[in-house]
Amino acid sequence: MVRKIALEEHFLCPGFEEYWRNSVASVDPQVVNGLSARLADFGERRLQAMDQAGIARSVLAIAGPGVQSERDIATAERRAREANDFLACEIANRPQRYSGFAHLAMQDARSAADELERCMGDLEFCGAMINGHTNGQYLDHPSLAPFWERAEALQALIYIHPTDPIAPSPALADIDGLRRATWEWGFETGSHALRLVFSGLFDRFPGARVALGHLGETLPFLLWRFDSRAKLYGVKLRRRPSDYIRQNIVVTTSGMCAAAPLDCTVAALGGDRVMFAADYPFEQAAEAGKFLDETPLAAPLREDIAFRNAAHYLGLPNP
């Protein structure tokens, strides 16, 4: 069993339950209650799941959407800071096992930038997890330039996690099984990342670094087509779309325990751009760990995905 650093691992702090419960409104209440208990636990239950998967360190983040769905800006800023302080206290109890991603109130770019800097400095977090759009505003919006300027200067990894779209797609109407994690979230989050590419955000902030889960939300499969259609439609960028995806975006294995998409992602992006994640407690950590341990990979590549790439991008010690 190879030792692992896991990057998309979730928790909830007191007072955040209602933000999260909207995203699981269609899930069996008994399942939701079980998830709630695991999200609130930082002790033996979580550590046992980590040990079964070979996870030496989990990078923890609020289960979304958190304060990004909060309409009152002052409340969002206050509660994001409280959540980060809460997580810092839990990390301090087990600093060898836990690290953290900042939770940010993206309603105000400068305030979010200040909180990111505080979290990466005072609290020693490794970046931030942003749960998609914030009340309909995506991360390419011009008003967020001060945030990206600071994130670039801090060399912060900004992990874009799925959230519900602003409005459900008519194509999914009456087919509830395609909603959320099955298909809707992947399309939503992949489209969000493409907005950053096609809007020219990475031309303006070439050092910005973004992470996507689920092996890149299908983007690695479509690199050639993005380049071809950008040329056809006269998209004005300094480089090809695929170049930004390969150079500014890294991905994790969260929720993707299958060899074929992993092989595609490694071939498309490079083995140095893929990192391990279990997506606990929404996926089984043991299953994710077993997959990475047993899927056919050269030993150096397996270790790169398991921990070396995360140590490099997040400044964490090798396990």
Active-site residue list? 279
C-alpha span between 82 and 284 (Å, rounded)? 29
Tokens standing for residue 89? 């206290």
Report yes or no: 131 and 188 within 8 Å, Cβ to Cβ.
Answer: no
Name the residue with tokens 């995806």: 245
The angle subtended at Cα 122 by Cα 120 and Cα 128, nearest 5°, is 25
H helix runs in the chain, sequence order = 17-21, 29-39, 44-53, 73-93, 109-121, 145-154, 184-198, 201-204, 214-217, 223-232, 241-248, 259-269, 285-294, 299-303, 309-314
The angle subtended at Cα 197 by Cα 150 and Cα 62, nearest 5°, is 55
The angle subtended at Cα 121 by Cα 120 and Cα 127, nearest 5°, is 5
List, edge to edge, every strand of the sheet that includes 55-62.
4-11, 55-62, 98-100
Residues 194-222 as b or e (16 or more Cβ within 10 Å = b)? bebbbbebbeebeebbbbbbbbbbbbbeb
Q: Which residues have C-beta within 8 Å of that of residue 302, sequence separation ≥ 6? A: 2, 292, 293
Name the nearest CA neighbour of 87 among 276, 283, 79: 79
The gap from C-alpha 53 to its chain's centroid, in whole angstroms, comes to: 20
- Cα 271 to Cα 84, 301, 310, distances in angstroms: 32, 6, 12
